[in-house]
A and B are shown apart, each in its own frame.
Chain A
């Protein structure tokens, strides 16, 4: 087969996958996870940056008479939330995205052989 024919065959296979109901579902699941979580962690991070600028009284509040203050805890919570969202996304992708992606990948390979 020449290059042109290969391209056309691949394009048809991609189009077939794109039309599949599973692909619409995959896109929907991905978007529904990624959009709200991205907004959430950006807002949470910018809130932290803003508090460092404009809420210093609140940030300097010491906790239980120790030298640990709200600013440090807020900063450490950024670490906790980053670890948690990374783990959550991994679990979600393994369970909800990968099976659909595998199925569609197989469909693509079948379509290319047609």
Chain B
């Protein structure tokens, strides 16, 4: 860390502007939460927003839930530093939505109620399946949550131009407190509207910066790319594959492994899956995904312009602010630059605006993740496993609210000491676990009659444990200068991304468990499940108030 890290908003006037925009974001989201809380009456309201959002509203919310600060700041920053290779994440993130659209979204909407586990529990033994699904839901969400919160700490410090550890911790506590408030008070309805507002802000902010960048190059993409290549110092290879990934065969297999986890992970992310319950029917679930694909696709196309724009217009060399922040401040600094440059009023306004958008982005994503884990804890673990007899809806919801507070507190406690760790791998790990543990169980349950309780628990625990174990014994954790733990080397798995091994293992465990478990009672309700999934007969309808 050095003084180069504080180029932003260092002038008192700029900082005041940034802080007032941050406060505006907080005020608006808290108002939404309060408004939503007055409409929360039943479990369907709290967990699923009354299932009354339209396809386009939910599409915006899905996009708002999915486009994290990691994609907004991270991807454009990676492009600014590594050129073309930085763009590859976003392609996997986008294509993944076709898996969700074709194989999961509508069928899940028709056959589940509130959580991912509902869909499995439809024809399996409640306790083991719900315990397994809740475990993987909470693990995936906490990995993802930690990445966002640690990111929030350093990001806000960076954007406000303060680099004290105390301030980072304060920001993490503030973000944690806000997400607890959104989720306990606003439930799914409040969280959804926070995500919708964030998606609109993020799209609008990105459109403005992209337009200004393209204007500088007279809308000539080739000129923009050429300028980026020259300024980057890498020349034409900046526009070609190879700067970041796949330097040798291990690296190439690692990249393939990452690509698989990205494309198969999305449709197994619990915080994405439960968004499909917020619409009245499967047709709106389909519309949601189509909207999300359009918004997310256009957004990633714009990050391409932002990334190459930052490479062309900013200093990204060794020791520069962009390089020191691992690319995270590329977009905010680019906003300042196209707004008129450092010291100009336009630059200050755009910088503050983008900083506030990034803040709103973090808040919306962490709220979605907290709600997902709290719902799963209350609805799957408490109501169906821990409680001796079925609790009333009221007491289940009370547990959900306490769970949100508990999960918020745990993630604050974990995020503060994790500040110094390299947390970028946590998002990739969340995707790998989702693809290895959740997706096999969901797909087998929908499309394979013979699949049973043992198969479901084996595939979830098997996929989860193999992904986590492989990462623990990978160079991410030990054995390299960039590893989390230095000084000792216990790695034996050569890849940083476990997907290429753990995803097939997840499916294999599902098959093995099914045959070794022998139990055929889950076949009884398979016809019922497939009728319900495909036709929507008997599916949960929208709430009537």
Q: How far apart sit A59 and B85, CA to CA, in the bound complex (Å)?
A: 12
A87 touches B91 (CB 8 A): no
Q: How far apart sit A85 and B33, CA to CA, in the bound complex (Å)?
A: 36
User: Which residue of B has the minimal Cβ distance to A10?
Assistant: B538
Q: Tell me, rounded to whole Å, the shortest Cβ–Cβ distance linking A61 to chain B.
A: 9
Q: Does B286 contact A (CB under 8 A)?
A: yes
Q: Tell me, rounded to whole Å, the shortest Cβ–Cβ distance linking B251 to chain A.
A: 8
A67 touches B259 (CB 8 A): no
B241 touches A83 (CB 8 A): no
User: Which residue of B has the minimal Cβ distance to A22?
Assistant: B535
A45 touches B256 (CB 8 A): no
B534 touches A27 (CB 8 A): yes
A101 touches B534 (CB 8 A): yes
B531 touches A18 (CB 8 A): yes
| With A56-B242, A71-B239, A86-B289 as contacts: A45 and B95 at CB distance below 8 Å | yes
Among the 9-residue stretches B99-107, B200-208, B345-353, B420-428, the one with 4 or more Cβ atoms under 8 Å from chain A is B99-107
Q: Does B252 contact A (CB under 8 A)?
A: yes
Q: How far apart sit A91 and B51, CA to CA, in the bound complex (Å)?
A: 24
A69 touches B239 (CB 8 A): yes
Per the 8 Å Cβ criterion, residues 235-252 of B in contact with A are 236-237, 239-242, 245-246, 252
Q: How far apart sit A98 and B236, CA to CA, in the bound complex (Å)?
A: 50
B241 touches A67 (CB 8 A): no
Q: Mark A47-78, 1 if CB is under 8 A from B, else 0.
A: 01111111010011010001111011001101
Q: Does B162 contact A (CB under 8 A)?
A: no
Q: Tell me, rounded to whole Å, the shortest Cβ–Cβ distance linking A87 to chain B.
A: 7
Residue numbers in B under 8 Å from A26 (CB-CB): 534-535
B530 touches A53 (CB 8 A): no
Q: How far apart sit A105 and B181, CA to CA, in the bound complex (Å)?
A: 40
Question: How many residue pairs at the A-B interface have CB separations less than 8 Å?
Answer: 154
Q: Mark A1-35, 1 if CB is under 8 A from B, else 0.
A: 00000000011011101100001001100100110
Q: Tell me, rounded to whole Å, the shortest Cβ–Cβ distance linking B213 to chain A.
A: 15
| With A49-B255, A108-B535 as contacts: A60 and B290 at CB distance below 8 Å | no
User: Which residue of A has the minimal Cβ distance to B532?
Assistant: A14
B94 touches A67 (CB 8 A): no
B97 touches A52 (CB 8 A): no
Q: How far apart sit A109 and B536, CA to CA, in the bound complex (Å)?
A: 11
Among the 9-residue stretches B292-300, B321-329, B488-496, the one with 4 or more Cβ atoms under 8 Å from chain A is B292-300
Residue in A79, A85, A87, A105 whose CB lies within 8 Å of B536: A105
Q: Does B41 contact A (CB under 8 A)?
A: no
| With A86-B293, A108-B535 as contacts: A56 and B102 at CB distance below 8 Å | no
Among the 9-residue stretches B219-227, B354-362, B452-460, the one with 4 or more Cβ atoms under 8 Å from chain A is B219-227
B221 touches A71 (CB 8 A): no
Residue numbers in B under 8 Å from A87 (CB-CB): 290
Q: How far apart sit A112 and B103, CA to CA, in the bound complex (Å)?
A: 28
Q: Does B283 contact A (CB under 8 A)?
A: yes
A14 touches B537 (CB 8 A): yes
User: Which residue of A has the minimal Cβ distance to B221?
Assistant: A68
Q: How far apart sit A59 and B263, CA to CA, in the bound complex (Å)?
A: 21
A15 touches B527 (CB 8 A): yes
A56 touches B222 (CB 8 A): no
Per the 8 Å Cβ criterion, residues 250-297 of B in contact with A are 252, 255-256, 259, 263, 282-283, 286-287, 289-290, 293-294, 297
| With A14-B528, A27-B530 as contacts: A83 and B293 at CB distance below 8 Å | yes
A66 touches B240 (CB 8 A): no
Query: Quick one: which of B97, B241, B255, B259 has the most chain A CB within 10 A?
Result: B241
Per the 8 Å Cβ criterion, residues 83-118 of B in contact with A are 84, 87-88, 91-92, 94-95, 97-99, 101-103, 106
B98 touches A17 (CB 8 A): no
Q: How far apart sit A51 and B225, CA to CA, in the bound complex (Å)?
A: 21
Q: How far apart sit A108 and B536, CA to CA, in the bound complex (Å)?
A: 10
Q: How far apart sit A87 and B145, CA to CA, in the bound complex (Å)?
A: 32
A17 touches B103 (CB 8 A): no
Residue in B237, B240, B531 whose CB lies within 8 Å of A17: B531
User: Which residue of B has the minimal Cβ distance to A106?
Assistant: B537
B534 touches A11 (CB 8 A): no
Q: Does B229 contact A (CB under 8 A)?
A: yes
The 5 closest A-B pairs by CB, nearest first: A108-B537, A67-B225, A66-B222, A53-B252, A49-B259
Report A's interface with B, CB cutoff 8 A: 10-11, 13-15, 17-18, 23, 26-27, 30, 33-34, 37-38, 41-42, 45-46, 48-54, 56, 59-60, 62, 66-69, 71-72, 75-76, 78-79, 82-83, 85-87, 89-90, 93-94, 98, 100-101, 104-105, 108-109
Given contacts A78-B91, A82-B97, A89-B101, 11 further A-B contacts (CB under 8 A): A15-B527, A15-B528, A26-B534, A38-B98, A60-B237, A69-B239, A79-B91, A79-B301, A82-B297, A94-B283, A104-B535
Report B's interface with A, CB cutoff 8 A: 84, 87-88, 91-92, 94-95, 97-99, 101-103, 106, 221-223, 225-226, 229, 236-237, 239-242, 245-246, 252, 255-256, 259, 263, 282-283, 286-287, 289-290, 293-294, 297, 300-301, 527-528, 530-532, 534-538
Query: Can you spell out 19 A-B residue pairs with CB atoms less than 8 angstroms apart?
Result: A14-B532, A17-B531, A18-B528, A23-B535, A37-B102, A48-B91, A49-B259, A50-B256, A51-B241, A53-B241, A59-B241, A67-B223, A67-B239, A68-B222, A72-B239, A79-B300, A90-B290, A94-B283, A101-B282
